[in-house]
Structure 1
Amino acid sequence: MEWTIQELAARAGITSRTLRHYDRVGLLTPSRIGANGYRYYDATAVARLQRILLMRRLGMGLPAIAGVLAEEVDVCDGLRAHIAQLEGERDRIDRQIRSVRHTLEALEAGAEPQMDVMLAGFNDHYEEEVVSRWGERAFRAANDWWHGKTLDQQRAWKRAAEDLVAAWVAAARSGISATSEPAQALAARHVEWLSRIPGTPTADGDRERSIEMVHAIGDMYVDDPRYAGMYEDATKAAFVRDALQAYARTRM
């Protein structure tokens, strides 16, 4: 099966002039040129054009596209990479749709939209951190789960989180040790709370990685200023860390 340059241009939504330019710069040559001087393109050429157009839509310039195609050994590997890029773009757009829908629903209900939800998909500022620590699937699962909640469900979850933080602060103020039964009961409650977040090792039932995660979260509550302030001061944050890590060592 072959197509003339006019047929291919019409199907691809570009001009014949563009196809001729791609030929001149070495991006896409015709499969053959007929005796009449017409350019013809076969299925392999069309597949290459598809990839060129995909990379153009991703904002790549022609020299960069040429470099990708020149370095590529296996066409199927290249197509798989494009599928992964497109799926990532689709996920980003889905998150943006959910964010805008959240804003609309909140405004229609006379409520104030939450900034972190409104900007989800536009600025997922924890994505790199979560992906590097727990993997892409963990981020996507947790992110989709959170942004799939209604406004009321998100508020209920935040209230539960605030109640847990308040319980930790009260326990730390009381002067009990991090290894005491009340502190360890709070640690168990905290781990159970984490297990309700899809994509986390605790939700997956992965004991070894769950222990690693609880240790890492305990350190994060002390070391990361974004979280340390939740527990009022460094001493109380250290109490939470010590209780969680003791629980992970002895009861998980």
Structure 2
Amino acid sequence: MEWTIQELATRAGITSRALRHYDRVGLLAPSRIGANGYRYYDSAAVARLQRILLMRRFGMGLPAIAEVLADEVDTHEGLRAHIAALEEERERIDRQIRSVRHTLDALRAGAEPRMDVMLSGFNDLYKDEVISLWGERAFQAGNDWWHGKSLDQQRAWKQDTEDLVAAWVTAAKAGVGPASERAQALAARHVEWLRQIPGTPTAEGDRERSIDMVRGLGDMYADDPRFAGMYDDAAGARFVRDALRLYASTRM
């Protein structure tokens, strides 16, 4: 099939003047020019225009687009790259939609607008740490999992987390040792809590990386002042660290 310049411009949502400009700068030539002087475009030309418009949408200038197309050897590979870019864009928009919906749900429920974990995402506050320890994919998987929860599910998760932290604090104040059955049971509970979060080595069943993760978390709890406050004081954070490290070494 072929389309005239007017038909293509109308369907693409651009002007015929833009198509003529693309021809002048070497981006998109018509497939043929008829005896009547009309420009005609076939399906290959339309596919090329599709890619030009996509790159324009991503903010690329015409010279950059021309360079990409000129350097390209495999058209199929280029199309696959554009599909991947569009899928990433779709995922980003989906996350934004979920985030706004959660905000609306919170407001309807009479919740405070600034709800730390509930609206920000369970690990947004520690994004840099998560990425540095386990990679961008782990952070994104966990973040998508969190924002995919309903408001009630987020509340329940937050409550479970607070209950786990409170149990650690109570055990530390009771003076039990990191090797005690009570502390090791809490460590097992802590690892199970981690296993529920997609993207973590524990969720993926990677034993060696799971051990490293649990040890690393323990060290972070003891070394980072933010976690010392979470576990009541520095001594409490060190207790959690020691119990987790012992559990990782002997029971994982």
Q: TM-score, normalised by structure 1?
A: 0.86
- TM-fit CA distance, 1:133: 4.3
Is 1:143 aligned to residue 147 of structure 2?
no
- TM-fit CA distance, 1:174: 3.5
- TM-fit CA distance, 1:119: 5.3
Q: For 2:86 and 2:228, how far apart are their aligned partners in 1?
A: 37
* Consecutive unaligned residues in structure 1, runs of 5 or more: none
Q: For 2:77 and 2:239, how far apart are their aligned partners in 1?
A: 50
Q: For 2:44 and 2:225, how far apart are their aligned partners in 1?
A: 54
- TM-fit CA distance, 1:136: 5.3
Q: For 2:38 and 2:118, how far apart are their aligned partners in 1?
A: 54
Q: More displaced, 177-186 or 227-236?
A: 227-236
- Report the equivalent of 2:174: 174
Q: More displaced, 195-204 or 14-23?
A: 195-204
- TM-fit CA distance, 1:173: 3.2
- Shift of the 146–61 alpha-carbon distance from structure 1 to 2, 3 Å rule, reads same
* Consecutive unaligned residues in structure 2, runs of 5 or more: none
- Shift of the 49–103 alpha-carbon distance from structure 1 to 2, 3 Å rule, reads same
What is the aligned-residue RMSD (CA, Å)?
Answer: 2.6
The one-letter code sitting in structure 1 at the alignment partner of 2:12 is A
Q: For 2:165 and 2:57, how far apart are their aligned partners in 1?
A: 45
- Shift of the 63–135 alpha-carbon distance from structure 1 to 2, 3 Å rule, reads same
- Shift of the 225–24 alpha-carbon distance from structure 1 to 2, 3 Å rule, reads farther
- Report the equivalent of 1:187: 187
Q: More displaced, 181-190 or 31-40?
A: 31-40
- TM-fit CA distance, 1:50: 0.7
CA contact (8 A) 2:118 2:154 kept: no
Q: For 1:135 and 1:80, how far apart are their aligned partners in 2?
A: 24
Is 1:26 aligned to residue 23 of structure 2?
no
- TM-fit CA distance, 1:131: 5.1
- TM-fit CA distance, 1:127: 5.5
Secondary structure of 1:232 counterpart: coil
Q: For 1:48 and 1:126, how far apart are their aligned partners in 2?
A: 42
The one-letter code sitting in structure 1 at the alignment partner of 2:101 is R
CA contact (8 A) 1:100 1:118 kept: no
Q: For 1:96 and 1:83, how far apart are their aligned partners in 2?
A: 20
> Could you give the per-residue CA deviations for residues 12-60 of structure 1, whole angstroms, max 9, x where no partner exists?
1111111111122222222223333322222222111111111111222
- Report the equivalent of 1:201: 201
The one-letter code sitting in structure 1 at the alignment partner of 2:89 is E
CA contact (8 A) 2:118 2:155 kept: no
Secondary structure of 2:162 counterpart: helix
After superposition, residues 30-41 of structure 1 pair within 5 angstroms as 30-41=30-41
Q: For 1:41 and 1:61, how far apart are their aligned partners in 2?
A: 23
Is 1:109 aligned to residue 109 of structure 2?
yes
- Shift of the 12–157 alpha-carbon distance from structure 1 to 2, 3 Å rule, reads same
- TM-fit CA distance, 1:224: 4.3
Is 1:91 aligned to residue 86 of structure 2?
no
- TM-fit CA distance, 1:251: 0.5
Q: For 1:183 and 1:189, how far apart are their aligned partners in 2?
A: 10
Q: For 2:71 and 2:223, how far apart are their aligned partners in 1?
A: 43
- Report the equivalent of 2:241: 241
Is 1:221 aligned to residue 212 of structure 2?
no
